[in-house]
Structure 1
Amino acid sequence: MAGSSSQRLKGILSITVLKANDLIKSDFIGDNDCYAVISLEPLANESKVKTGNQPKQTETRQKTQIRDGCNPIFNEKLLFPVAEGLEALYVQVWDSDIGKDDLLGYGTLSLLGAGQGGQFNTSLNKEWLHTVTISMDNEKRGNGGTLELVLHFIPESLAAYMSKKFNAAQADLKKKLTDQIVSKMTDVAADQIRGYVGISN
């Protein structure tokens, strides 16, 4: 289970949801209105009647914007703080409808499985970047299509280092811009003063 934000972060997991393929067509008229849900914790697969209080984005569960079709392209990045080693990643793709959304596909990516060779280990102080294709199930058809992701883990030490470098670069840029602005304003003011007293360059 994912840790709470009160724990010391191990890093940031950036998940880019690229696209889904071969989703079941849910709507009789028109295209699917699809969105993907990515979670660090298990998800319920039952369709739920919509209410005025829909689940919001959280540190462990996020969803994409809606895209059309059976092969929707999302190309959307989601960021998850990681407070402890993750064991699995849970995904779903839904068709947004009036009243109740339909679950098109669901799947799980084991991050610490024997066949993974430690490539998705978030407990190590090591950056990694991998593309994955997750096969999904559909309760009616069996095959729920696939979901393509890019997973990028940035350990806390690297994130802190990059943040310091970025802040230092920002501070340096701000100082240079400030110096340039002050210098320019000084030149303009000096020219105006010369004009007032009748002194030419």
Structure 2
Amino acid sequence: MPRGRYSLHDPHDHTPLGEEHFHCATGPSGWRYVSQLTTPTGEHTGSVDLTLDELGRPLRLELHAANWQVRGAALHGVTWVRTDPTGEYAQEGNVAAHSFTGASPAFLIATSRLLRLAPGDRATRVRLVALTPPVLAPRTLDQSWALLKTEAHTTDTAPLVVEDYQVNDLETGEQHAVHLAGDVVLAAPGIELEDLESPPSAFT
């Protein structure tokens, strides 16, 4: 069960945004990721709880940020409820999309599991609902993902297989690289892996 810490920063000016303390695990029915988010000074700012089925679809998503909460799942596309603590501003939403995305590294792992690309495959288009802090307002976007290469790195225990993806925002044309190893993000825009207590889990 990988457990560790990501540092989060603005991908454009590198302003520190905080840290995400996580643990995750694979199982016979899918994958679960749980994390707590803090400011650069250590104050709690939110949490992520994401469960995927064996095909990479979101069985259950629960996000907390500031005074907002979102619960969602794959249902007739993706369906969610966004609410404030009192429930006064609760809103339901549904979009014909493949999955969710957001600021957490968990969503990069989730999208890669959903697409299951192989090196050399044509870039695959995917529609996602983005939920980003601090207000978690939903926004539908289209990306394309391509797996450029996989490379095995020697470690003290077993080879570490690193996947290098190219991700394009199809609205803005912005392009960036994402580096994954099993169920851990090694590096991506705004994300750095700072600490990892055990090796990543390998997906079968």
TM-score (norm 1): 0.27
Q: Which has the higher strand share?
A: 2
TM-score (norm 2): 0.27
Please say which structure displays the higher CA radius of gyration.
1
Q: Which has the higher helix share?
A: 1
More contact order relative to length (CA 8 Å, sep ≥ 6) = 1
